[in-house]
């Protein structure tokens, strides 16, 4: 696989931009152009002009990532990028213990002065072509709006649950982990230790459920309030240490006051990572039973969060759900054969992909052990039930975040009820896919 800085600017996109009088260029973190590039990204996301420290932080964070800037030479400020995109390879879990390299696309912005002239399309299609040519089977995005990326073949693979818990009402119905001498304990930690704990726990736990990804140092800094140039001194941290002294969980959180009632703070969870069920219970209990806290909130949690079944009053929990992680399949055999399936069988998937990467008929054959073989089929009529779907719908199925029968009922998948039922069982995930971060 190519490294990000070996992936160049897509020539077709560059030509398309040039035909529109624009210039696409790769920007490196060490270049002088990077300052305005970083400012353009913040401007694109409606933020303020970044401080020199923040730009320095971004520079350190981007490292050798692949960054594309678009310039308008006819502008009166031709040095200001009017389009930006950053991408890098990231490992995503597709099934317990199974991973795929994904081209993670981020910082897609087009200046409000140049919107709707096809600049984002040039950038995105170019990234997909470059990623595919470099052998990456998958691209991914976390998105600001749900209506932009379907047209490029991205499908919602992971929904996120945002939890709000009335801490006074919730109670606790599950077993209580033993805390204290000779047992596990919850300890306060310094922000730098918190960042390190989150990184270690991500590494030990990310292979357990689909949708999780390998984190990166700047993410842990952000969640622990230690980002260079943008520290957040409000962030606190605790860790759960088991009876043997091993760190099994960490919680990064903020306490937000209620101006009218000091006893009614909101405890906002920035990150809660747990390696064991004891750690998970101990950290949630810590949050729910915190003095002077009336509400606990946590975003980007799994749809099947065990917490619901641990509190005594489920009506104390309000859950809102949202699309979060969008995946774009570029290589059907590589993606489908990377995971395991829950029952043997076969189906022919006829995939529509206007950009071509995944287009065609593919026979998915699952053996008795749940391993799959995927082959291109020249005559879709032969062997196995036929199912038609878009590449975006296949991206939604990949991690098992939605049932094929649901997509069929929604008109997103065309095939028999029997074929959809087989896919339902075959694609069952070990747990609901989750991604607890933005990238």
Residue 34 CA to residue 65 CA, distance in Å, equals: 12
Count the residues of the shown chain that bind ligand COA, applying the rule CB under 6 A: 18
- Sequence-ordered strand ranges (E) for 10-72: 23-27, 66-71
Residue 335 CA to residue 316 CA, distance in Å, equals: 40
Residue 80 CA to residue 39 CA, distance in Å, equals: 9
Which of helix, strand or coil describes residue 129?
helix
Stretch that binds ligand COA, among 106-114, 189-197, 380-388, 395-403 (CB under 6 A): 106-114
Q: How far is the CB of 127 from ligand COA (least distance, A)?
A: 13
Q: Based on the shown chain and the rule CB under 6 A, indicate whether residue 322 belongs to the binding site for ligand COA.
A: no
Comparing CB distances to ligand COA, the nearer of 159 and 386 is: 159
Closest by CA to 106, choosing from 21, 226, 205, 219, is 219
Determine whether 207 is exposed, middle or buried from the number of CB atoms within 10 Å of its CB (0-12, 13-18, 19+): middle
Comparing CB distances to ligand COA, the nearer of 113 and 204 is: 113
Q: Note whether 49 and 41 are within 8 A (CB).
A: no
Q: How far is the CB of 436 from ligand COA (least distance, A)?
A: 18
Q: Based on the shown chain and the rule CB under 6 A, indicate whether residue 109 belongs to the binding site for ligand COA.
A: yes
Q: Note whether 249 and 273 are within 8 A (CB).
A: yes
Task: Give whole-number Cα distances, 296 to 126, 166, 170, 177, in Å.
Answer: 42, 7, 10, 20
Q: Which of 119, 274, 316, 335 binds ligand COA (CB under 6 A)?
A: 119
Tokens of 275: 């390696």
Comparing CB distances to ligand COA, the nearer of 146 and 243 is: 146
Stretch that binds ligand COA, among 10-18, 109-117, 250-258, 322-330 (CB under 6 A): 109-117
Q: Binding string, 37-56, against ligand COA, x = CB under 6 A? A: -------xx-----------
Q: Note whether 380 and 415 are within 8 A (CB).
A: no
Q: Based on the shown chain and the rule CB under 6 A, indicate whether residue 117 belongs to the binding site for ligand COA.
A: yes
Q: Binding string, 128-167, against ligand COA, x = CB under 6 A? A: ---------------xxx-xx--x----------------
The length of the chain, given as a count of residues: 439
Q: Which of 48, 116, 262, 368 binds ligand COA (CB under 6 A)?
A: 116
Stretch that binds ligand COA, among 28-36, 118-126, 155-163, 386-394 (CB under 6 A): 118-126
Q: Binding string, 233-262, against ligand COA, x = CB under 6 A? A: ------------------------------
Residue 395 CA to residue 389 CA, distance in Å, equals: 10
Q: State the residues that interact with ligand COA by CB under 6 A.
A: 44-45, 108-110, 115-121, 143-145, 147-148, 151
């Amino acid at each position: 696989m190519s490294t990000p800085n070996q992936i160049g600017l897509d020539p077709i996109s560059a030509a398309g931009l040039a035909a529109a009088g624009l210039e696409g260029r790769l920007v490196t973190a060490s270049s002088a152009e990077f300052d305005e590039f970083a400012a353009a990204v913040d401007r694109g996301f409606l933020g303020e002009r970044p401080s020199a420290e923040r730009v320095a932080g971004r520079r350190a964070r981007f490292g050798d990532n692949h960054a594309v800037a678009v310039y308008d030479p006819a502008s009166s400020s031709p040095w200001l990028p009017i389009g930006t995109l950053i991408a890098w390879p990231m490992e995503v879990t597709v099934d317990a213990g199974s991973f795929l390299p994904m081209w993670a696309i981020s910082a897609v912005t087009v200046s409000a002065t140049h919107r709707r002239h096809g600049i984002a399309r040039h950038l995105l299609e170019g990234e997909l072509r470059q990623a595919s040519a470099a052998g990456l089977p998958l691209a991914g995005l976390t998105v600001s709006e749900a209506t932009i990326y379907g047209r490029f073949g991205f499908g919602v693979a992971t929904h996120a649950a945002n939890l709000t818990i009335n801490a006074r009402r919730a109670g606790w119905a599950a077993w209580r982990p033993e805390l204290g001498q000779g047992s596990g304990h919850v300890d306060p930690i310094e922000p730098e230790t918190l960042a390190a704990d989150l990184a270690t726990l991500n590494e030990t736990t990310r292979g357990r459920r689909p949708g999780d990804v390998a984190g990166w140092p700047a993410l842990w800094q952000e969640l622990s309030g230690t980002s260079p140039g943008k520290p957040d001194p409000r962030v606190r941290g605790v860790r759960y240490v088991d009876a043997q002294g091993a760190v099994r969980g960490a919680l990064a959180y903020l306490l937000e006051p209620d101006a009218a009632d000091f006893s009614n703070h909101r405890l906002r969870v920035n990150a809660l990572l747990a390696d064991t069920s004891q750690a998970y219970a101990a950290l949630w209990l810590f949050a729910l039973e915190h003095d002077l806290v009336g509400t606990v909130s946590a975003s980007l949690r799994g749809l099947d969060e065990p917490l619901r079944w641990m509190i005594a009053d489920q009506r104390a929990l309000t859950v809102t759900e949202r699309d979060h992680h969008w995946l774009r399949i570029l290589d059907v055999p590589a993606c489908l054969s990377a995971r395991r399936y829950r029952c043997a069988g076969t189906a022919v998937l006829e995939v529509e992909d206007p950009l071509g990467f995944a287009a065609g008929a593919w026979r998915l054959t699952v053996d008795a052990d749940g391993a799959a073989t995927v082959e291109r089929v020249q005559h879709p009529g032969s062997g196995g039930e036929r199912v038609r779907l878009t590449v975006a719908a296949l991206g939604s199925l990949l991690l098992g975040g939605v049932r094929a029968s649901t997509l069929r009922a929604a008109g997103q998948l065309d095939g028999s009820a029997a074929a959809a039922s087989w896919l339902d069982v075959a694609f069952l995930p070990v747990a609901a896919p989750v991604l607890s971060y933005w990238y």
